[in-house]
Structure 1
């Protein structure tokens, strides 16, 4: 059986990157989460539509990033020694994290001074320097890169048998294996799914009971963690939201296990299991809405509800913990099955805009999106364009942010590689 080369996971990563940008674009307009810009027109947690959008995103998008990143790390481990693997990961994840964390606060302060206060270059320069001086660890969205680097480091340290051996006998075996199966990832840290020749029969999906037990354990763990680290409280020094770390750990482990067990990502969870998870998700959602209705009858507003859901010894926080995990797996599994649906074959093709390979620049777009979005938000606030409405503003800023982030990513990646620094983005 011969499988044609597919770009499904590259396209999934592209979609997830765009979703991250849209997520951050919506935050100041009544959405949930911390962000450098605060809209004077919309209070935090004030838009029900954007809150639902943010909450649904959070259930699956970063966890899915860890899932596919771990899947690719397992592929890379088959053909690299541990030292090669770690060197590549440091270059791809560690260096960009350090550079971004060093400059992002200064850039953000400079944008705020320029766009909102119309200050001159002298004062903007001062703000940038202040931002450099207050750096105290990882800043901004690169917490994901920092945590992924930690996970990859632990993978290399705890499972050395997964990695290529440098002995002559193993080299000969690897050469023979590579003639049968092409697992050469490209780009280095985020490879495409490779061509395979004569694939064995795929193992059965995970047992439903095992999936349900795992989701329950993650939910309970997240609820307990949020008693002390509620959603929104970052953990120094990598700015990690500890409230979601249980989910990230399990999805990373799952990505490795799925690859090593010979399963495919889209078939690891059966349709029957997805149906059960979906039923539980609907039940938890109904209970949550009923509980919210009973709370709002005491005249508690939406902005007051969210802190309750984000952590603490209360029913809403417990329901949110279960909703996040069950809805997250449901959405992630449905998305993966849809992407591999033969009737949606265009999702497996290389996406191009003109001659530009969109997936090639998704990582660079992710790296530059925070200052791009912040600049657009400040511009819209200064010009009064936020008056079009919370959802409308978030949508327009988000779409423009996606386009500008990819344009900035192309310039950044090509510029760095033109200098001779390849493999960093």
Structure 2
């Protein structure tokens, strides 16, 4: 019997180009603004986890603490969800090897750029302050002991997830080819020959359960995995890798994976409008639950491995999932459009992510002599830094060759 081989998927032409999802571009812009605001809040909060800080001297700092904790529950997870959504299509178009090269350039090079060039600029004020107590401390030693990827931990983790996706895809394609070789038929060529994605108007009906039951199962499962993970790995920071929030790694990995599956099944476009209101309701109820848990559980909820900290995980998870679903649906309904200004914001959003630390730090230093409450200074820093970040990003991307990596 003549053996047949499946065509090599790394050279198979990609699928027909689909219309650009402008609402995703706009949502990424908003999430990037939240990143800038998050770090601006860290500057003046009671959580001194930033390159330049002025710890709050008045009660308004607690408002910033609350914003940081709520924002942390969902904003980076949503970045991973959206990133995962576009991975399969990019791999289809470029092939495994082309996709790997593209990820190494678009994620690896900015990561190195930040570590080598931008982090010294962002950490300079901290080093200057430290010299007051350690005048003989050389900068190279300070740099070595404070080495981390900063905000570019996202690029670091996303690069690892993308490479894992490539390895899994390679395994599936090889397995598919082996099935074809043995059977002499196309029965195993499902990976090589991609099925047509469902149309936007195809009803989303997961096993006749609608959208809410799968949402519920996913949230419960993620909460349980997160509880186990945080008990096993309670450290709030991983110094060598530079992860500022390792407790959220299960969420990041789960949402990236969900994004990959969502692309093949076109879930972003098929998610019903009712899910937006349902997600909003879940988020609001969970927000009330978070408030109650803070009052009832007290400060013990912030201590790793305590039952109080574990008890708050399900409520936190449902809040995050509700916010994400509602944002996806409402942006799709209300902001699925573009213009010259929105394109500028979207095109420069990743560059803002890479560059914003330096802008925030030095604008913060410039405002250091301003006597005001923490919340007031936060608004001042945000009002100056957000537009300046996009202006700097646009100027940097105008340099020949930079657009390839930013």
Into which bin does the TM-score normalised by the smaller protein fall? 0.7 to 0.9
Is 1:281 the counterpart of 2:268? The answer is no
1:83 paired residue number: 97
Structure 1 residues 202-211 or 393-402, which shifts more? 202-211
Cα drift, residue 309 of structure 1? 3.1
Work out which of the residue numbers 365, 378, 388 in structure 1 matches 2:352: 365
Q: C-alpha offsets along residues 20-68 of structure 1, whole Å, 9 cap, x if unaligned? A: 000100113225461122315538x973311221122111110110011
1:185 paired residue number: none
Distance 2:263 2:215 in 1: 17
- Write out aligned runs for 1:164-179 (5 A): none
Q: TM-score, normalised by structure 1?
A: 0.75
Is the 1:277–1:330 Cα contact (8 Å) retained in structure 2? yes
2:222 paired residue number: 218
Distance 2:198 2:307 in 1: 52
Is the 2:231–2:305 Cα contact (8 Å) retained in structure 1? yes
Distance 2:141 2:381 in 1: 28
Distance 2:258 2:274 in 1: 15
2:188 paired residue number: none
CA change 1:48–1:83 in 2 (3 A) is: same
Number of matched residues?
Answer: 368
CA change 1:311–1:222 in 2 (3 A) is: farther
Distance 2:348 2:290 in 1: 37
CA change 1:222–1:310 in 2 (3 A) is: farther
Structure 1 residues 231-240 or 363-372, which shifts more? 231-240
Is the 2:238–2:246 Cα contact (8 Å) retained in structure 1? yes
CA change 1:83–1:269 in 2 (3 A) is: farther
Q: C-alpha offsets along residues 220-269 of structure 1, whole Å, 9 cap, x if unaligned? A: 33233333544732253243522000100111011011111232257179
Cα drift, residue 200 of structure 1? 6.2
1:242 paired residue number: 246
1:37 paired residue number: 52
1:204 paired residue number: 205
CA change 1:11–1:332 in 2 (3 A) is: same
The secondary structure found in structure 2 opposite 1:34 is: coil
Is the 1:30–1:42 Cα contact (8 Å) retained in structure 2? no
1:102 paired residue number: 116
Is 1:414 the counterpart of 2:401? The answer is no
Is the 1:11–1:351 Cα contact (8 Å) retained in structure 2? no
Is 1:404 the counterpart of 2:388? The answer is yes
CA change 1:290–1:237 in 2 (3 A) is: closer
Output the aligned Cα RMSD: 3.8
CA change 1:213–1:198 in 2 (3 A) is: closer
1:301 paired residue number: none
Q: TM-score, normalised by structure 2?
A: 0.78
Q: C-alpha offsets along residues 104-148 of structure 1, whole Å, 9 cap, x if unaligned? A: 44223324467x6999xxx9xx96645554464x42000000100
Work out which of the residue numbers 23, 31, 40 in structure 1 matches 2:38: 23
Cα drift, residue 162 of structure 1? 8.1
Q: Which structure 2 residue ranges, 5 or more long, are not aligned?
A: 1-17, 177-192
Is the 1:365–1:406 Cα contact (8 Å) retained in structure 2? yes
Is the 1:58–1:324 Cα contact (8 Å) retained in structure 2? no
Distance 1:197 1:314 in 2: 45
The secondary structure found in structure 2 opposite 1:226 is: helix
CA change 1:161–1:113 in 2 (3 A) is: closer
Distance 2:384 2:235 in 1: 28
Distance 2:65 2:267 in 1: 35
1:193 paired residue number: none
Is 1:56 the counterpart of 2:70? The answer is yes
Is the 1:78–1:162 Cα contact (8 Å) retained in structure 2? no
1:192 paired residue number: none
- Write out aligned runs for 1:122-137 (5 A): 129-134=140-145, 136=147
Distance 1:265 1:250 in 2: 20
1:291 paired residue number: 296
Is the 1:280–1:326 Cα contact (8 Å) retained in structure 2? no
Is the 2:83–2:256 Cα contact (8 Å) retained in structure 1? yes
Distance 2:99 2:404 in 1: 13
Is the 2:226–2:247 Cα contact (8 Å) retained in structure 1? yes
Is the 2:236–2:244 Cα contact (8 Å) retained in structure 1? no
CA change 1:376–1:158 in 2 (3 A) is: same
Distance 1:162 1:349 in 2: 37
